[in-house]
Amino acid sequence: MAKKCFLCDSDDGVIDFNDGTFKNCSLKLAFRKIKNFKYNVVELTCASLDFIGYHTTCYKKVTALNIKYNEEFENFSAENTVST
Ligand SMILES: [Zn+2]
């Protein structure tokens, strides 16, 4: 079964998440949600990993944060360690 991209919903050339990329992506999405940034409505859960993957370009869109939020994100990720 072809997986779909978590962001653009296309199944063309989708890459599987691994532990690292999944944690990074879900943390960035959670951070975007509390900050009301773009993509703050995108849901990414462990349960959906059998059905979704990502494109490098889509992954970068979500995980790239303005450098001025780096410190705030560090604090946020320290407080919100995603357990799998
Ligand atoms: Zn995509």
Distance 38 CA to ligand 1 centre (A): 15
Reply yes or no on whether the pLDDT at 52 is more than 90. Answer: yes
Question: What is the model's pTM?
Answer: 0.89
Which tens digits make up the pLDDT trace of 56-69?
A: 999 999 999 999 99
DSSP of the chain:
---EETTT---TTPBPP-HHHHHHHHHHHHHHHHHT-TTTT----GGGTTTEEB-HHHHHHHH---GGGHHHHHHHHHH-PPP-
Distance 2 CA to ligand 1 centre (A): 13
| Per-residue pLDDT, 47 | 86
| Per-residue pLDDT, 82 | 53
